[in-house]
Amino acid sequence: MNREIYISENGLMLAEYLPSDCQADWLDWQDDETREGYNFIMDMPLSQYQNRTIRNRLYAVILRADSPDTPVGIVMISPPHGDPDLAIRVFAPYRGNGLGTAAFHLAAEYALAHMNIETLHAGCYEGNMRSQRMLLRCGFVRNPAGDQQEAHYVTGNPIMQYDYVFQGAI
């Protein structure tokens, strides 16, 4: 499969998102851990999801060199304008082995080196210790001034999304 590779390192690649990636992307939104991590339910049917307009500065698949046609996750930088925010979704079968940290680091490196971004934000919810540790390992620091209180997507109870920020070269 021919696709543009944005950046690669140590057998991991961030690459162009293709229509063939959509089903794996959509299936990830059906996962409870993904929903919890994003405080959001993507409830549109696959047919509608396939035809959505992607409005991100970057929306890339995470690939491994040993299986370059199988997406293992998504990295995105949004919004199209304003403070850039880096987010990641590692698909359920590939979680828990450091892939997220490596891909997040690679995406931050790409954003700073190739997208003319100087300051990059990232967020995670107060109970998501795994994401908090990942952000710190990638060189992000807590930015309490950017924290946002939200309503939990299921219960409606207040939860806090912590803001992290990275400035400078990786």
Reported as a single tens digit per residue, the pLDDT across 33-66 is 999 999 999 999 999 999 999 999 999 999 999 9
How many angstroms separate the CA atoms of 12 and 107, rounded? 11
Q: How far is residue 13 from each of residues 80, 155, 156, measured CA to CA in Å?
A: 22, 37, 37
Q: Would the pTM of this model clear 0.95, i.e. be above it?
A: no
pLDDT on residue 2? 87
Q: List, for residues 96-133, the tens digit of each pLDDT value.
A: 888 999 999 999 999 999 998 989 999 999 999 999 99
Q: List, for residues 18-33, the tens digit of each pLDDT value.
A: 999 999 999 999 999 9
How many angstroms separate the CA atoms of 41 and 44, rounded? 9
Peptide bond into 79 cis (omega under 30): yes
Query: Which conformational region is residue 76 in: left (phi greater than 0), alpha (psi within -120 to 50 degrees), or beta?
Result: beta
How many angstroms separate the CA atoms of 119 and 113, rounded? 12
